[in-house]
Amino acid sequence: MFLVKAVVSGDTLLLREKGTTKELQLNLAYVQAPRISDSVGFESREYLRKFAVGKPVRVTKLYEQNSRVHGDCASPVFQSLIEHMLRLGLVQLRNDASSKEGFATYGNSLEEAENHAKTKQIGIFSTRKLPTLLVRGEVPQELYGSGRKVPAIVERVISGDRVMLRAMMDGNDHYLGPAMLAGIRAHRSGEGGDSLGNMAADFLASKLLQRQEVRAIFNAPNPNNPDIPLITLTHPSGDIALLMVSNGLCESTNTPQIGSERQLLLKNAQRDAEQKGVGMFKQAMEAKKQHQEQFSDRSFESVVVKIVSSDTYVLQDNRTVQLSSTRAPLRSENPELASEAREFARKLLIGKPVRVQVDGESTFNNLTKTLVTMSFGPQFSKNAALEVIKAGWATTLRHRRDDLNRSPFYDELQAAEEQAKAANAGIFNPNPKKQPAIVDASESVVRARAYLATLSRKPKINGIVEVTLGPGRLRILVPSERCVLTAVLTGVRVPRNPEPFAEEAMQYTLTEWNQRNVQISVNNVDKTGAFTGIIYQGTKSLGNELLERGLATVHEGSANVTGIRNEVEEIQDRAKEARVGLWKDYVEPEVVDSGDVVDDVEAGVANLDIEADTSLQSAVIACFTPETVYLRNPENDVEYKRLKSDLKSFFSAASNQGARVFTHKPRKSGLAITPDLERGVIENIDRSANLYEVFLMDVGATKQYDLDELMPVPDQFAKISPLATAIKLKFVQKPVKYYEPRYLEFVNEFVGQQVYVKGKQFIYFNDSGKLDLEDSLNMKLVAGSYASVPERQSKLEDAAPFMTAQANAKDAHKGMWEYGDPREDEDM
């Protein structure tokens, strides 16, 4: 038993054996049909096509000629297809029919059938004039985009997305040529193709090949080959392209010519096929299932504590994640847009609880990124990536269809991007608003003092924490003043590495205060240009919160100045009672007799016996600058007092009153005498405020003075060497400008402390006979990520311990290494 697959002409059929893919081309024996280009020939073929295609038939093979099988067909409707076609006049007996094998058996009945058609004058034997068939090889332009459903015949299936089409436009006016199904793409079929391509071609043939009721809509010429039209084919079962995509036999493509609605229809059908894992998506579905199983248990809830960019976030457990299929504007491409995008994400997500589903991992340059879908809002109903892209502050990454790391909501993300483009939102705005220039108010002490009057006038100033430099030291953006400043907590002292609970204090500030909207009450400016004050978030104070958790102690001096001593001491007492943080091992002091205390101290002093290494020189740290350490020898006190006495005598003499006034305004690096009769070097000048920043060379400190307060240095005093010695630490290079405040804050903790200097290059904190680099200020700066090793010294023989410490600091991504190597950015 065979099925009629197609009709080649009125006398030739293409059959497929039932239950197999085996095909047979059968020529009807003893007869011939007119050429299909003739009107009667097309009528003959059309009758047989409508009558037989898709029907089961029994085949009788009568003879073979030139490797062609000639025979007859029978079905419940007819006993002999040859006789049936002859009786209708759609074929005629061949001239040499009588010479063919078996004709004697069938000849009489066949001749009788032909004579019947002749008598009736039907078909080939009709006397009426038939209209001429016009067959053209190109589509009329007015047909494109008209939406007209043209009756059509799929003459041949070339591949799963390409057919040979006959479109019967107006009666006998036909288009005959190749056509492509619009909006889909199938694998290659036939020789050199694959099984999926052959499946698609077979499916298309089984549904449409020479079937009735097929309609073609001509969408547009193919952009790559205008002679081939892009078409949409429909039949009683529906839209064939949609059906093929739904069964996974082909994939949808980006074809604007078919309209956005139809494109979305095809994409949704493909998504359903992908989810079901049918056809060409079966293998991808299996791989996706394995991929999902790998990450299925990696769903968790957390809190966003830091916004790196609009696509990258740091969560509460210090885990950095990136939104799947999302790309934020790069700072290297457009700093202003990148900042605006990050600010949008900050307002949207900072401090918010989120639900995170890990979609995959991406590795680039040995750096592994965790790709996630992040939800937030009521019942975690909002998709973070969707909200950011919809607002125009990120774009959708382009993926291959089989990319396992693609977001599960990829199509929604693409639609959101198109929506943002249409609205000219975010980065798609053709006329972006120019951002005002931001000034670093803490760049220097001089600049900080210029801002102090404005900032301290208001009780509280609104700001945004940009960077957490330390638990009590923050970089805050103040939009109203168009400046960014370094803010230091007043009234409390926060532990620093490697002190106990320094990490916990830093973690709390990062988690609860970083990138939050805050208010700052400014009191003063310190010697690094930082603004001291109280930082609030709503009704909470950062200093009080740290004290409450035992992560800070009261700084009595600054607490007295700001008038908060009673408040902070009360909070500290509560922390002591709760035994939290620094007070976990706190023991209430016993009340003892004062006489016993004096005796104990005197006994301890009597027992001191320090054997100092003669290679070390004792000194006191007087002052730090980013480049230099200034030391003062306690033994110089006599010389210092004599110098002060001589200066006092000189300026007290009536004959020297004229020497108190500068004949010309002093310049930078010039010498001056302060009102306290200290010699100094002018380091910075603020002409607008008439302020001079002076380094006091004999005591190692920096102060500011009005010009009227300064006096010239007489020649005899200018020749005396500075009593504060300047040294440069070996293997220590100051950090880039952004991290200088953190560096200075750390080293200024040691001002006034006795140290031991070796070779004017190393500073140690004890004078034991066995020197330990770990006890040196040099190593503490490098290992603590406060400074780096200069490139020119990295190859020296004794640099190895410092290079190791620097490598460990880099790996920990703390301090100046938190975002990688900042020295590279500064070089750029």
Print burial letters for 258-290: b (CB count within 10 Å at least 16), e (below 16): beeebbebbbebbbebbeebebbbeebbeebee
User: Stretch 673-698: mean pLDDT, rounded?
Assistant: 87
Q: Assign domain 2-125 to its CATH architecture.
A: Beta Barrel (2.40)
- Find the helix or strand (DSSP H, E) in which 51 lies: helix 39-52
Task: Give 494-531 pLDDT, tens digit per residue.
Answer: 998 888 899 999 999 999 999 999 999 999 998 889 99
Residue 769 has pLDDT above 60, yes or no: yes
pLDDT band at residue 596 under the 50/70/90 scheme: very low
Question: Which of the two residues, 271 and 557, has the higher pLDDT score?
Answer: 271
d(CA 745, CA 762) in angstroms, rounded, equals: 20
Q: Please state the rounded mean pLDDT for residues 47-61.
A: 91
What would the CATH number be for the domain defined by 439-583?
A: 2.40.50.90
CATH value of 297-428 in 2.40.50.90, 3.20.20.70, 3.40.50.1370, 2.60.40.10: 2.40.50.90
Strands (E), 472-564: 473-478, 483-489, 492-493, 517-525, 531-537, 540-541, 553-554
Task: Report which of residues 425 and 558 the model is more confident about.
Answer: 425
Confidence at residue 242, expressed as pLDDT on a 0 to 100 scale: 92
Higher-pLDDT residue of 738, 471: 471
Binning pLDDT at 50, 70 and 90, where does residue 595 land?
A: very low
pLDDT at residue number 612: 34
- Reading phi first (left if > 0) and then psi (alpha if -120 to 50, else beta), residue 491 is in left
- The residue assigned the tokens 């600049």 is 447
Q: What is the CATH class of 634-722?
A: mainly beta
Mean pLDDT of 600-618: 41
Q: Give first-to-last CA distance, the chain, whole Å.
A: 80
Tell me the per-residue pLDDT of 133-185, one tens digit each, with 9 for 90 and over.
888 889 999 999 888 999 999 999 999 999 999 999 887 889 999 999 999 99
Q: CA 137, 143, 149: angle at the middle one, nearest 5?
A: 105
Q: Looking at the predicted structure, is the pLDDT value of residue 382 above 80?
A: yes
Question: Do 783 and 777 contact (CB within 8 A), yes or no?
Answer: no
Average pLDDT, the chain: 86
Indicate if the pLDDT at residue 435 is higher than 70.
yes
Give the pLDDT confidence score for residue 189 in this predicted structure.
84
Residues of the chain with CATH 2.40.50.90: 2-125, 134-285, 297-428, 439-583, 726-827
What is the b/e burial string over 457-472, where b = at least 16 CB atoms within 10 angstroms of the residue's CB?
Answer: eeeebebbbbbbbbbb
Place of tokens 């081939």: 228
> Looking at residues 349-374, what average pLDDT do you find?
86
Please, which pLDDT band fits residue 611 given cuts at 50, 70 and 90?
very low
pLDDT higher for 293 or 648? 648
Q: Map tokens 């020197």 to a residue.
A: 771
717: pLDDT strictly greater than 60: yes
Distance CA 555, CA 535 (A): 16
Give the CA distances from residue 736 to residues 257, 626, 821, in Å, rounded to whole numbers and listed in that order.
55, 10, 10
Averaged pLDDT, 327-332: 91
| Residue 153: both structure tokens together | 């015949």
User: Residue 529 region, left (φ>0) first, then alpha (ψ -120 to 50), else beta?
Assistant: left
Phi and psi at 72, nearest 5°, equal -135, 160
d(CA 288, CA 282): 10
Q: Output the pLDDT for position 608.
A: 27
In 3-state terms, what secondary structure has residue 793? helix
Which CATH number does 726-827 carry?
A: 2.40.50.90
Model confidence at 628, pLDDT cuts 50, 70, 90, reads: confident
Residues 44 and 34: beta-carbon distance below 8 Å: yes
What per-residue confidence (pLDDT) applies to 615?
60
Residue 684 has pLDDT above 90, yes or no: no
Pairing of strands 553-554, 540-541: unpaired
Helices (H), 520-564: 542-548, 556-562
pLDDT band, very low/low/confident/very high, at 640 (cuts 50, 70, 90): confident
Comparing CA positions, the residue from 481, 560, 478 lying closest to residue 518 is 478
User: Does residue 399 register a pLDDT over 90?
Assistant: no
Q: How many CA atoms lie within 13 A of 696 on its CB side?
A: 19
**Interval 187-196 mean pLDDT:** 80
CA separation for the pair 23, 28 (Å, rounded): 16
For residues 727 and 401, the model is more confident at 727
Return the pLDDT at 635: 73
- Which phi-psi region, left, alpha or beta, contains residue 377 (left: φ > 0; alpha: ψ -120 to 50)? left
Type of residue numbered 364: F
How many CB atoms lie under 10 A from the CB of residue 4?
Answer: 23
pLDDT score of 599: 39
pLDDT of 284 above 90: no
Task: Give the containing element (helix H, strand E) for 598.
Answer: helix 594-606
Whether residue 672 is predicted with pLDDT greater than 50 in this model: the reply is yes
What is the predicted pLDDT for the residue at 296?
A: 56
Quick one: pLDDT at residue 753? 82
- Strand residue runs (E) in 722-790: 724-727, 754-758, 762-764
Over residues 305-316, the pLDDT tens digits come to: 999 999 999 998
> Tell me: the pLDDT tens digits for 463-485?
999 999 999 999 999 999 999 99
Domain spanning 134-285, CATH class? mainly beta
Locate all alpha helices (DSSP H) within 350-477, ordered by sequence: 384-390, 410-422, 445-457
Q: What is the pLDDT of residue 295?
A: 57
pLDDT at 589 (0 to 100): 63
Q: Inform me whether the pLDDT recorded for 348 exceeds 80.
A: yes
Identity of the residue numbered 431: N
Name the residue type at position 8.
V
The per-residue pLDDT for range 261-271, each reduced to its tens digit, is 888 899 889 88
Asked if pLDDT for residue 544 goes beyond 60, the answer is: yes
Task: Give me the half-sphere count of Cα atoms (radius 13 Å) on the Cβ side of residue 524.
Answer: 10
Instruction: Band the pLDDT of 40: cuts 50, 70, 90.
Output: confident
Are 307 and 375 a contacting pair, CB within 8 Å? no
Selection from 208-217, 344-353, 641-650 with the highest mean pLDDT: 344-353
Is 527 in contact with 702 (CB distance < 8 Å)?
A: yes
Label residue 547 by pLDDT band (50, 70, 90).
Answer: very high
Short-list 14, 79, 19, 71, CA closest to 48 = 14
According to CATH, where is 2.30.30.140 located in the chain? 634-722
Percent of the chain's residues with pLDDT above 90: 43
Phi, psi of 45 (to 5 degrees): -65, -40
**Banded pLDDT at 425 (limits 50, 70, 90):** very high
Q: Report the pLDDT value the prediction gives residue 600, as an integer from 0 to 100.
A: 37
